[in-house]
Amino acid sequence: MIADVGDYSVWNKPYDLRSQGSKWGDHCTVVRWAEQHLLPERNGFTVHRLDRAASGLMLIAHSKRIAAALSELFRERAVQKRYRALVMGDFSTHANPIRVETPLDGKDSVSELSLLEVSHDRKQSLVDVAIETGRKHQIRRHLVELDHPVVGDRLYGGENVHTVDLQLTAYFLGFTCPVSGEPIEYRLPDEQLQSLP
């Protein structure tokens, strides 16, 4: 857990833990895990999703009122979301930053990608990603469109099949707190983010 505000909490979801339940139930979700480990115990409500294969910050509401308020912030695109991705290839061949606006599944999709570092030896780049929309697998699909699949992406990576987990982490969330009304930011420490050796 990163923070417990009472009416909502912020968690660092690990790789392979689901954001929401499937047709078989929700016993393997970050929400269920939070409900079982919070003191005092509280119900949990999903207000946004993170790919099962991705890791990083997730908000969980603990009241229906706050769930509705946080969901509205996401719907209105009033939540700043930033990700760190380790990608294949030399990303310095693109404008920095580069804005990708390719629609996904018939819906507007906007990602802004900025190069942080390149390893010519490893043929990999470290990229910072800000998204305005939150379409299914948006970052992964936009990066594949640019011929830079995320390292460890078993779904979109093509020959980029590695034994490592997907190297994509949601490291920053910024929004107006529905409890206090004040702007608030949550950020994972740098040592928990992808890096190039």
Active-site residue, from 16, 51, 108, 165: 51
Q: Determine which of 51-55, 98-102, 141-145, 146-150 has the lowest per-residue pLDDT on average.
A: 51-55
Give the pLDDT of residue 24: 56
Amino acid present at 4: D
Torsion sign across C-alpha atoms 105, 14, 35, 69: negative
Token digits of residue 45: 């409500």
80 membership: H or E segment, kind and range: strand 80-88
Check whether 116 has a pLDDT greater than 80.
Answer: yes
Give tens-digit pLDDT for 145-156: 999 999 999 998
**Residue bearing tokens 């929309």:** 133
As given in the structure block, the two tokens for residue 176 are 């107006």
Q: Return the DSSP state at 191.
A: G
φ, ψ for residue 22 (rounded to 5)? -115, -170
- Domains of the chain in start order, with CATH, are 3-79 (3.30.70.580), 80-168 (3.30.2350.10)
Between 35 and 5, the more confident residue is: 5
The reported pLDDT for the residue numbered 27 is 60
Indicate whether 183 pLDDT > 60.
yes
**Which pTM value belongs to this model?**
0.90
Identify the pLDDT of residue 130.
Answer: 98
SS3 content of the chain, % helix, strand, coil (to 5): 15, 35, 50
pLDDT of residue 142: 98
Structure tokens at 62: 């603990």
The pLDDT score that the predictor gives to residue 74 is 95
- Sign, CA torsion 152/153/155/158: negative
CA nearest neighbour of 44 among 71, 17, 70, 63: 63
Range 108-118 average pLDDT: 97
51 is annotated as an active-site residue? yes
105 strand-pairing partners? none
Please report the pLDDT score of residue 2 as a whole number. 94
CB 149 within 8 A of CB 158: yes
Helical (H) or strand (E) element with 151: none
Residue 98: CA count within 13 A, CB half-sphere? 16
